Structure formats: C-alpha cells, structure tokens
Amino acid sequence: MTKPMRQSKFAVFAMVGQTVKELFLPFIFFAMQGDHTFSRKLWWLAGFLLVSFIFGVLRWFFFTYDLNAHEITVNQGVFVKRHAHVPFERIQTLTKTQPVLFQPFGVYQVRLETSGEKDDQLTFNALTPAQIDTIARYRQAAQTKVSETLIDTKQPQVRATYHINQQELVRYALTSFGSLGIMGVIFTILSEVSNHLPQHVMMGLDGWLRGGSVMFYATLAAGVILVGMGVAFIKIYNQYYGFTLTRVGQHLAIARGLFTKHTMQLRTTRVQAVQLEQSLLRRALHLQTVSVLLASANQSEKNDTHQNVLMPVVQSGQVAEVIQPFLPTLQIPTLKRAATVRHALRYQMQYAVMWALGMFGLLLIANWLMATYLHFAAGFVWLVGLAGSLVVIWSISGWLCITDQRLTIADDMLAIQITPWFTKRQYYVRRDKIQGVRATQSLFMARHQAQHLQVVVRHGDSATYIKLRYLQADVVAQVNRWLIDVK
C-alpha cells in the first residue's frame, strides 16, 4: 500500500476554478445588494477571489489518494469527507487528457471509468506522468494477477504498435462528414448575425446579393462549403494527430491529439464488439474506421464518439491483418449474405417510400400553415422536387439497407453488416457479449415468415441494438438457438 498522495500543485488552479464557479452566483447576489461604490465592489471581488483561492487550496490539500494491490482510494472534502474505494478489477478505462494550458506544466487530467451502469467515475484534475504511471501499473498488475512484488519493478512489454501516418490522417480528415455540421453552424451564425444587423445594412446586403449572377451564387456557396470543409479538416486533424495504438498484454493504449492530447487505456477483455464503419464517401475510397463498443460507466449520449476509435482509417482489404496484433482473439469471418425472405427488397422499398411520403405529408401541412398564417409558401415545382428528392433518398437508403445485409455465425462469433442511412457498419460480437435478441414482425410479415432481428450489445452504460430487416424466420430461430446454447 502507498502513502496517501496529493495531486500535482497545478491542480490547485483547477480547484480554485471549481470554487469560483460554485460561489459565483452567491457572490453576484451579495455584490448587487445595496448601493456600493466602485472601490467597494473591487473589495468584494478581491474578497471573493481570496475566499475562492483559500477554498481551492484546502480542497487540493484534502484531496488525497492511495493505492494498494487491489484498489484505489480517493479521499476528498473540506467539511464533508468523502472516501471512494474502487477495485482495480472494476476499472474499464483510464483516460488522460492534456489541454494546451496543461502542456507547459506536463500534467494531465485523468479519468478512471468503472463498469457501473450509472455515470460513476473518478476524476483527477492534474496528475504528473509519474503518478499516472504508478496508477496504471497497479491497475495492470491487479488486472493481470501479477504478484505484488513485481509491481514497481517490472515494466510490461509492448506487443504491438500502430501509428497513423500523415497521408492516412489527411485522408481521414478529408473524408470526414463533419464539414456538413460545420456548414450548418456557419449558416446558423450568419442568420443570427443578420437578425441583429441594422436595417439599412441588411437592405444594402440584400441589394448586393440580388444583383449577383448564378456564377456569383455558385462561388459564394463554394466558398462556404470550402470554409466548412477547412474547419472540419483542422478539427479532425487536431483530434487524431499522432494517433498511436499500443497493446501491452491484455491492455490497449490509445494516444492522440495535437493541441489537446488524449490518452486512453482499456482492457481487451472488456471490448463488447468490434465495429468497422464506412460512410458513403469512404466506401468509394475503400477505407474503413475500426472502433470498439466498450462496457463503461459513461452515459452513451455523453460518450465522445472519438473515444472508442482504434484505427481511424484502414484499407478495406487489410482490416483483418492490421487489427489482428491488437485483438488477437478476434476472428473476422467472411460475411455471407443474410437470408432474407423472397421479396424483402420490395417490402423495404415500400416501407421507405411510405416514410418518404409521410415526411412529405408533414412538410405539406407545414407549408399550408405557413401559407395561411405567414402568407409565405413554397411553389408547386419546389414541392414536386422535394417529394421526388425524399422518395429518391429514402429509396436508395432502403435499397442499401437490404442489399448490404450480411449475417454469419462462425463458432463463437456473430458477424453482422448493416447500412442504416448510407453508413455501412460491420459488427463482430462474441456470443458471451450478446445480452439478448429481439424479434419483431407485423401481421403482414407473419404471412411471409419474415422477421426483423435486433441483437442487443452493451455500449457505454446502455445498449446498442443492431438491426437486421426482413430475415427468414428460420434464420432468427437459428440465431436464438446459437445464442442460448451453453457449452
């Protein structure tokens, strides 16, 4: 067992910041009382900062942690003492983050996540690399059942390493769809700004825009798209710069980031499923992203989508070969076409067109309401164009959904491929990591012996449902039998 240790002194700033945040509203409330002069307000501010500083230092002083072979204990609280004991066995991931400000001081924020269902985790504001190494070694030793005497002496051997190269990183950033989101943000900002501009400026701008030719608008649109793509590119480049994946025994370590550096360690035994993902664009370029679904206490919606990426971009044909050294027990069986019922494609297309028309119906109602109350409505040509586009988009999506479906059972591994909304995903899940299966069918489907299948896999602190559509009932029964077949 170690002596109680404190965080790096840099953590005082974070603690002070936390106290400032907590006391800010009461401070504003008191500072606003009465008619104070400017110098009095300055005194108030100085007092507030002093109290925050003292509390921050006290918080830092009373925040200690100690380690033994089995658990980490965190003690904190100035007035109300809290002690958290977390067995190393329960720790799923160890995440290090180093924002730009932390870099000159060489300290990291550290998060230890457990497998509990609620969002329970231990967070350290600032630890030095030596402190983190000690925690990581204790954890690794506890999880690999190495005897205590080896803890401080033996450094485990690195078994495999993967570095992203510049070319791959650029390719990944360029094929990211983040630019669409950024464009959305740009448009939102522009519309917000336009609401607050004086009227004569808006009139001038309006006149200037009206005077433009088609070429002018095309250039403007291209400009916005380019800016959006540029920003998205920089964002992705920053997030994945220097991406390195390392395997040491049963542990994987992921390090990435240019300005803010992230490092995460996870146990391969806690991986629930491996996911290979391809957007439409990456599909054309034969590129795939490899990530894992992980059992952790992180709430799924809070979950950083980048957190579980093992390899940002890999050539489609080389995935098995590249991933093998990192997940040696992972089998990647050849995917076979899922046995759907005879007219599955037709049923899915009917369903898709119905959805598209449903959406169109809602838009028609919105259009009618706008015409009635705002005296502004889209013309007939626009509506027909919109209906056509919706039908085409939904139909292509429906077509991909059925034609891309794959399902293979190979020993203890279930391999599934689906394409919901143009993004192709392949899942490789071991039998013992599947929590359950759901089958649904409407009366119409029952006549054709068709069923939809959902495979339930844990992801974060909740579940991911992998859905296959219009399968033959026999296939669903086969998956059911395979799942509950205990050796």
Partner 1 sequence: MIPTNAKSLPQAAKKVWAVQAILVMGIVVLADICMNSLFQSHWSHAVMTAINVIFCAILALAIGRLLCIPYYYRYHKYLLTPDAVTIYRGFFLRKTETMPVNRIQNVDTEQGPILQYFHLQNVVIVTAAHNFKIETISEDVAQTLRDQLIAAARQAREVDADD
Residues at the contact surface with partner 1, assessed by CB under 8 A = 115, 295, 432, 434-443, 446, 456-459, 462-464, 473, 480, 483-487
Distances, alpha carbon 40 to alpha carbons 43, 44, 106, 230, in Å: 5, 6, 39, 49
Structure tokens at 264: 């995460």
Complex with partner 1: residue 423 or 441, whichever CB lies closer: 441
Complex with partner 1: residue 152 or 432, whichever CB lies closer: 432
Contacting residues for 277 by C-beta, under 8 A, at least 6 apart = 288, 289, 291, 423, 424, 425, 426
Complex with partner 1: residue 236 or 479, whichever CB lies closer: 479
Round the CA-based radius of gyration of the chain to a whole number and report it.
Answer: 28
Report in angstroms how near the CB of residue 6 gets to partner 1 at its nearest. Answer: 35
* Cβ proximity of 432 and 270 under 8 Å: no
Q: What is the full DSSP assignment across 210-273?
A: HT--HHHHHHHHHHHHHHHHHHHHHHHHHHHTT-EEEEETTEEEEEE-SSSEEEEEEEGGGEEE
Q: Strand, coil or helix: what is 366?
A: helix
Q: Which residues pair with 459 in a beta bridge?
A: 462
Complex with partner 1: residue 350 or 462, whichever CB lies closer: 462
* Cβ proximity of 440 and 451 under 8 Å: yes
Complex with partner 1: residue 336 or 438, whichever CB lies closer: 438
Complex with partner 1: residue 425 or 458, whichever CB lies closer: 458
What is the rounded end-to-end Cα distance, in angstroms, of the chain? Answer: 41
Report in angstroms how near the CB of residue 394 gets to partner 1 at its nearest. Answer: 22
Report in angstroms how near the CB of residue 2 gets to partner 1 at its nearest. Answer: 31
Report in angstroms how near the CB of residue 473 gets to partner 1 at its nearest. Answer: 8
Q: What is the full DSSP assignment across 82-150?
A: EEEEEEGGGEEEEEEEE-GGGGGGT-EEEEEEES-SS--EEEEEEE-HHHHHHHHHHHHHHHTT--GGG
Report in angstroms how near the CB of residue 53 gets to partner 1 at its nearest. Answer: 44
* Cβ proximity of 232 and 178 under 8 Å: yes
Complex with partner 1: residue 329 or 462, whichever CB lies closer: 462
Contacting residues for 225 by C-beta, under 8 A, at least 6 apart = 179, 183
Report in angstroms how near the CB of residue 451 gets to partner 1 at its nearest. Answer: 8
Report in angstroms how near the CB of residue 340 gets to partner 1 at its nearest. Answer: 18
Report in angstroms how near the CB of residue 459 gets to partner 1 at its nearest. Answer: 7
Complex with partner 1: residue 251 or 270, whichever CB lies closer: 270
- Give the pairing of strands 244-248 and 91-98: unpaired
